[in-house]
Amino acid sequence: MTTIVNDNQPILEVRDLRTSFFTGNVEVKAVDGVNFSVPKGKTLGIVGESGSGKSITSLSILRLIQNPGKVVGGEVVFKGKNLLEKSEAQMRKIRGNEISMIFQEPMTSLNPVYTVGQQIGEAFQIHEGLGKKKAIERSIEMLKLVGIPSPEKRVHQYPHELSGGMRQRVMIAMALACNPELLIADEPTTALDVTIQAQILELMKDLQDRLGMSIIMITHDLGVVAETCDYVAVMYCGKVIEYAQVDELFKNPRHPYTVGLLNSLPRHDIDLEDEELSVIKGSVPSPTDLPKGCRFAPRCPHASDICALRLPNLEEDENGNQIRCWIYSEEWDGDPEVNVHAERTT
């Protein structure tokens, strides 16, 4: 399986990544053969329902999977080197320095017994060898960078003394402390009101432009994807089922699941009145009892015999977009006139 070839040289290539959780004699495949690449200076959005494997993929990249989980195969190639072959000591030098991560919930990710300055300054002390005084000075600079007012005061405060938006900005300041080349943002605007969400996204875009870093944006919010991303990987049951440039994905979604996600978005330009919002029928299958064939087949309105029997490969077209669906293969045995795109709400 080849990853997408972009005009920009990828800073990260994920190849056949597989991460499982083991309970007794049962193996739960949370990430099952994921492939994608992140071009330098660009943003890749990873979207999908809860349980699709988005966050586990990000934790696998940074080698942060804990027991009973384990990365069981594949490659994570960062700047030409496979991170899965690095020692733990080598990974500690990379985490927070060359690759940083913004975790989902800042109140639980920040340590309540340390001040904001101590937590931001830790990165400077570990990776740049600064003393405490100089680390605090740099922490104040980072708080200014992410737009926190009165940074000289805030640097000595504890997380509970800050608002949710400020805590999220602190998380961004921590992640950007050492000018990482790759930033992984896992639901960076969850639980924030829309005004603060817009500010955070604008801040990340501005910092990306100024620092030239690449971003992996993990989210279930397609509005965030449309606003911030250059490429999109759609995940379902531990697999990437569609990968395309963001404009192409929204204009011409090809996988029935992607079409379903887009159609389920509320539309502000249409008065639905008595009509109901579109929904994807059924529910995500249990990771311990996955379908034999295509994992979306039980919920797909176009599923045919081959869909129930065999899992399709992720195939790349002439435009560099990828799709995992039998409809687009020569082996398709369903309606030859099926038009998935026609389902898209106009």
Q: Please check whether residue 134 lies inside any domain of the structure.
A: yes
Residues 174 and 124: beta-carbon distance below 8 Å: no
Q: How confident is the model at residue 6 (pLDDT cuts 50, 70, 90)?
A: very low
Q: What is the mean pLDDT of residues 232-261?
A: 95
Three-state DSSP state, 115: coil
Structure confidence by residue, pLDDT tens digits, 108-163: 789 999 999 999 999 899 988 999 999 999 999 999 988 899 999 999 999 999 98
Q: What is the reported pTM?
A: 0.88
How many domains, in total, are found in the chain?
Answer: 1
Residue 3 has pLDDT above 70, yes or no: no
Q: Please check whether residue 20 lies inside any domain of the structure.
A: no
Q: Please check whether residue 23 lies inside any domain of the structure.
A: no
* Res 255: pLDDT: 95
At 273, list the tokens: 């009145």
List CB contacts of 138: < 8 A, sequence separation 6 or more.
Answer: 120, 121, 124, 130, 177
Nearest-angstrom CA–CA distance, 265 and 284: 18
Residues 78 and 264: beta-carbon distance below 8 Å: no
Q: What is the mean pLDDT of residues 325-342?
A: 85
At 2, list the tokens: 């080849």
Q: What is the mean pLDDT of residues 243-259?
A: 94
List CB contacts of 42: < 8 A, sequence separation 6 or more.
Answer: 6, 8, 214, 215, 230, 231
Q: Please check whether residue 163 lies inside any domain of the structure.
A: yes
Q: Count CB atoms within 10 A of the CB of residue 178.
A: 17
Mean pLDDT score across all residues of the chain? 89
Residue 346 has pLDDT above 70, yes or no: no
Q: Please check whether residue 133 lies inside any domain of the structure.
A: yes
Q: Please check whether residue 51 lies inside any domain of the structure.
A: no
Residue 80 has pLDDT above 60, yes or no: yes
Q: Please check whether residue 122 lies inside any domain of the structure.
A: yes
Residue 276 has pLDDT above 80, yes or no: no
Q: Please check whether residue 229 lies inside any domain of the structure.
A: no
Nearest-angstrom CA–CA distance, 231 and 233: 7
Nearest-angstrom CA–CA distance, 313 and 326: 8
Range of the domain at 130: 106-179
- AA letter at 53: G
